[in-house]
Structure 1
């Protein structure tokens, strides 16, 4: 599996130099090496569909990969990708629900800030721009070398000013 994952990663690393059709063909060729019920391969298939702008095809594949039982490391990536996909399909509230369910109890998760960024996009789609900005500020602030307290206070004020 590690060699297979490395070959998949190599295709993605080179994706910007290839057409969508070439990337799709390369990933599909690698997926063909795996069992039909291999959750990681199904996740990769969903990802390449998403990459090619075929979100309606990607959504059920993400759901299938999750149902098949992705390894713990892969699951948060699949949830973020599924949330992004359903948001792009016009269901931002569902995207928020997916992200909250996966990351609500994991604020220190390495992908928590990425999940917050996608949640902010969904909030903006719902017309909740202030909440989106506050979420973004809260994710950004811990990474700043200065002004953390001030930005936290400004974020609080944005919510109070409603």
Structure 2
């Protein structure tokens, strides 16, 4: 018999590369219901299904609830990224920026640090601070460069200083 996680993953795998529709939401909701609405991971999966179906207004309260209940170290950064992305998509860019700024500050050792930086850069650009967003993106890119770490870091910091 498959575990709860395996069944959730199976739904997401089947939906990969396609638009998420009501059927995916129904399938995720059925599996999530096994854990109830007091389970952070179940709420996270329900939020993700709605988010993937282009329903950010329905996803946002579910992401908030999942974070309030408390997610594990693997799913918490995903929920923050996805909540902030949904907030940005509905025009709540200031809240998205604030959420991602904190996550970015706290993400030094996280495997999601670059993903957080990418969504932080997008939120900054949407909020009217594209230069700051560019700086965040460049600084996230620096560790992946074969050379030029010092110069790209200096240029990225210079760009953001012009906005302040």
Q: Structure 1 length normalisation: TM-score?
A: 0.89
Q: Distance in 1 between matches of 2:17 and 2:136?
A: 34
Structure 1 residues 36 and 153: CA distance shift in structure 2, 3 A = closer
Q: Distance in 2 between matches of 1:5 and 1:73?
A: 13
Q: Distance in 2 between matches of 1:149 and 1:46?
A: 40
Q: Distance in 1 between matches of 2:32 and 2:162?
A: 51
Q: Distance in 2 between matches of 1:88 and 1:59?
A: 11
Q: Structure 2 length normalisation: TM-score?
A: 0.88
Stretch moving more, 139-148 or 12-21: 12-21
Structure 1 residues 7 and 158: CA distance shift in structure 2, 3 A = same
Q: Which runs of 5+ in 1 are unaligned?
A: none
Stretch moving more, 17-26 or 67-76: 17-26
Aligned length: 161
Matched with 2:133 is 132
Deviation track 1:120-139 (CA, whole Å, cap 9, x = no partner) reads 11111122111111110000
| Alignment of structure 1 residues 78-97 onto 2, 5 Å | 78-97=79-98
